[in-house]
Structure 1
Amino acid sequence: MAQVITNSTHDDMIHDAVLDYYGRRLATCSSDKTIKIFEVEGESHKLTETLRGHEGAVCPTERTYSPTVELKGHTDWVRDVAWAPTILQKSYIASASQDKMVRIWTSDPSRPNDWKSLTLDFDAVIWRVSWSLSGNVLAVSGGDNKVTLWKENLKGEWDCVKTIEE
């Protein structure tokens, strides 16, 4: 039987829910302008972080999930969220928003609930974000009918390395 979340702690509709590579953490994005990160352990789920700055919807379930983190920073609803594969030293999450921004959230393994973010600004609404299999390239698609590929440089800044348009 499918599991259903009855209490996501989001204040609005959830748009996406994604498990990390190992299925230990769940990231949800919502019209309430937040991303919430849940620790998943057997039958229990605990909110560890809330990333603020998005809006979205909730998905009902039979289990109660408590976020371990809430990440905030978007000024409009969050359309998409994606974990980078965990072969990297840091944890990376990318979030796409109606506010024409992508936020790249990073957390060091020594401080797993301390998330920092940087912003990539665009001229149009952002629809989707997706990481390469190695986790070092981020694909971004939006309302301008372009797909851009981004890569972190040695200074920790993100550079657009390719633009694909019709």
Structure 2
Amino acid sequence: MAQVISNSGHDDMIHDAVLDYYGRRLATCSSDKTIKIFEIDGDQHKLQETLKGHEGAVWCVSWAHPKFGTLLASCSNDGRVHIYRESPSTSPSHPAQWTQVFTSTFHTASVNMVSWSPPDLGCLLACASSDGQVSVLEFRNNQWDHTIFAAHGMGVNAVSWAPSGALPGAIARKDGGQQNANAKRFATGGSDNMVKIWEYNQQTNTYTQMGVLPNGHSDWVRDVAWSPTLLSKTYIASASQDKTVKIWTSTNPADIGSWQLAKVLEFGDAVLWRVSWSLSGNVLAVSGSDGKVSLWKENLRGEWECVREITE
């Protein structure tokens, strides 16, 4: 969703703004082809760095988990994914420095979204492209490997990783939920109106489609978000050009047949751009073309209600 941040220093529309793990830094990206890093102090923000290198609008930025150092990924209309690393300050005369440590040129069209995996799966970055493919970059043995596969024929707009760990309802299961506990799994949303789930297959060394979520959208899926917390069930939300948000639930995400459409949120005339879960996994933020952000929560009766609306 395009946003305005006062005194951002960007010369054009801002497409993404993301806080780091500790909430101390904000990365923004824009149609002006740059990324800006701000230091956050209370309600003040101070520009720390401007990162260049893209040749088109930058759609999305994503911070890696700090266990891998200070890494920031970005993707652009130029078809490239950049990974930047900050080397810490060693002395006042040697301040912290940002360098571009890797560039992915595996896609032939705009890369629309990048998403880091949960850290216990490794240093993995999924990239969704308008060329219909998803690539997964992985840093191991001191180098960047990649796998790339066809996902949505008409273009991939969004990707979101499943949380890792014991599956929902694990306590009640004989294996304690450890089976597939660290499966590499994510959801994608495409211009074919579908939300698909993928899982890494060690035998074939690539990601295999587990299936398509039932009762999908009637227009492009703009965003998809897998709830980051392992509650009694797991949730996937998607935002679409068809002016609805859909929420699916499952008590066993490894079984594609267990996924059910739990709720359709309708938004009148607003095309929907982004969906995002709270860290606790039970509040969903929705934003769209009407400039509003609404927060939704499931009550004890299993009904979804709007608990807050913020107008920009």
TM category, shorter? 0.7 to 0.9
Residue by residue, what CA displacement relative to the aligned partner does 1:78-115 show, whole Å, maximum 9, x if unpaired? 00000102321111000000000000010113883221
- Equivalent position SS for 2:213: strand
Mapping 1:70-149, distance limit 5 Å: 70-72=212-214, 73-109=216-252, 112-113=255-256, 114-117=258-261, 118-123=263-268, 124-149=270-295
- Higher Rg: 2
CA deviations 1:93-152 (Å, max 9, x no partner) are 000000000000101138832211120000200100000000010000001100000000
CA distance in 2, matches of 1:26, 1:130: 15
- Provide the rounded CA distance (Å) in 2 between the counterparts of 1:27 and 1:154: 27
CA distance in 2, matches of 1:131, 1:112: 22
Structure 1: which 5+ runs fail to align?
46-62
Q: How far apart in 2 are the matches of 1:103 and 1:68?
A: 19
2: distance between equivalents of 1:34 and 1:132?
24
Identity %: 52
The letter of the residue matching 2:260 is: K
Alpha-carbon shift at residue 6 of structure 1 (Å):
2.8
TM-score by length of 2: 0.44
8 Å CA contact 2:163, 2:230 repeated in 1: no
Q: Deviations over 1:18-40 (max 9, x none)?
A: 21122621111100010110122
CA drift of 1:43 comes to 6.6
2:159 maps to 17
Following TM superposition, by how much is the alpha carbon of 1:42 offset from its aligned partner in structure 2, in angstroms? 4.4
Q: Which residue of 2 aligns with 1:161?
A: 307
CA contact (8 A) 2:157 2:190 kept: yes
> 1:38 aligned to 2:198?
yes
Rounded Cα–Cα distance in structure 2 between residues aligned with 1:14 and 1:162: 30
- Structure 2 stretches lacking a partner, 5+ long: 1-143, 165-182
Letter in 1 for 2:162: D
Q: Within 2, Cα distance between the matches of 1:111 and 1:66?
A: 12
Alpha-carbon distance between aligned partners in 2 of 1:163 and 1:19, rounded to the nearest angstrom: 27
Report deviation, 1:41: 4.6
Q: TM-score, normalised by structure 1?
A: 0.81
Corresponding position of 1:59: none
Q: Partner letter of residue 142 of structure 1?
A: G
Q: Is the contact between residue 201 and residue 208 of structure 2 (CA under 8 Å) also seen in structure 1?
A: no
- C-alpha RMSD of the superposition: 2.0
Q: Structure 1 pair 110/2, CA: closer, same or farther in 2 (3 Å)? A: closer
Work out whether residues 149 and 161 of structure 1, in 8 Å CA contact, stay in contact via their aligned partners in 2.
yes
CA distance, structure 1, for counterparts of residue 265 and residue 233 of structure 2: 19
SS at match of 2:209: coil
